[in-house]
Amino acid sequence: MIMTLESCSFPIADTIALRAESVASIDTSIISVGAIIGRATPLLSHSLMIVPFVGVISTFQSDPLIRQSNTLERCLKGVEGVREGSVLRIDLQNRIHALDTLAVENALSIKLVHCGENHSLGLTMRTPGDDIDLIFGMLYSEGIIESNLDVHSLSIDSDEAKVILEDSCKFDAPEHRRRTTKSSACGVCGKESISNLLHTHGPKLRDNFSLDITSISQAAESLISSQRIFELTGGTHAAAFFSEDCELISLREDIGRHNALDKLIGSYIRQPIYSTPPLLFVSGRASFELVQKCIRFGIPIMASVGAASTLAVDMAIEHNLTLLSFVRDGRMVVHSTPHRISNY
């Protein structure tokens, strides 16, 4: 038997209504996660079916699915890389069957063809969307190509990508061979040797400008507020380019932090003419593979919401990169080359 608030007689109906009202006001990571991780906050109403853990509700055999928020269905339209799934939200007093939104993680197989020979780059776990940007960015970041002119053609069919390189492309297959699947958590997993990761080459970093500390802090707020997939799922990283005025130029998201940056860089590499932005902002920590990609592309300032690793700092110092971490609420930690930061 399925019971509703309308079918209950006093005082049971009043009891359930009071519990429903208390649930609607709860602001926790279980029911309302907006304050914790920035996701769309569920809007619960008394017309929705709430299932408290009390004896009278034990007669429930099935519960309707509650959408995470009243506006979520509209928000999902046109957003690639997300999927809804049924979940059970629980706390110490209640259980709610709901529809939750998840970031998609799928494998992308990449095969290179160079001078008539096939080479596999293995599998990359990524959030679908901007796959062409991802591939261009990955090929450039790993030194396989120097520009879009090195790519003769690129095709994607059912999560399988085929890249035909120009014969003139200086591609060294043994250097880039991978033995294992590359996960979305690590941009360097599967490399045969760690040593070839430390030979980073890129253009000379610009030194004739500085960014205001207040503007950089505002850029951090812009980064956070512009993450559409993260707002829906709480499960993606973001990388964004900003101008000298710290205005948002472009942003990419992915379940893997290095994928988000590869997508961003790839969107530029694909263009015949582009100007390298002065500031890169990442939503997570500053790991050395992200710093390496930043240096490779010639970005002089890299900022992160999270912490920086030791190797990231060492690489930034060696290559004259301004590396900032813990940028939030008007504060930041400057690890290297502070002269590009002004008004502090």
* Catalytic sites, residue numbers: 186
Between strands 94-103 and 66-67, the pairing is: parallel
In angstroms, rounded to a whole number, what is the distance separating the alpha carbons of residues 7 and 21? 18
DSSP state of 242: E
Within the chain, what is the greatest distance between any pair of CA atoms? 82
Would you say the C-alpha torsion 102, 103, 107, 108 has a positive or negative sign? positive
One-letter amino acid for residue 187 of the chain: G
Cβ neighbours for 11, distance < 8 A, ≥ 6 positions apart: none
In angstroms, rounded to a whole number, what is the distance separating the alpha carbons of residues 271 and 125? 25
- Residue 293 has a CB neighbour count (10 Å cut-off) of 26
- Residue 320, token pair as written in the block: 């004259």
In angstroms, rounded to a whole number, what is the distance separating the alpha carbons of residues 307 and 284? 8
Between strands 248-254 and 211-212, the pairing is: unpaired
- Residue 134, token pair as written in the block: 């991802």
Q: How far is CA 56 from the centre of its chain?
A: 44
Burial 213-251 (b: 16+ CB within 10 A, else e): bebbbbbbebbbeebbbbbbbbbbbbbbbbeeebeeeeb
- Asked if residue 11 has a cis previous peptide bond (ω within 30° of 0), the answer is yes
| Cα separation values, 112 from 172, 182, 268, Å | 12, 16, 21
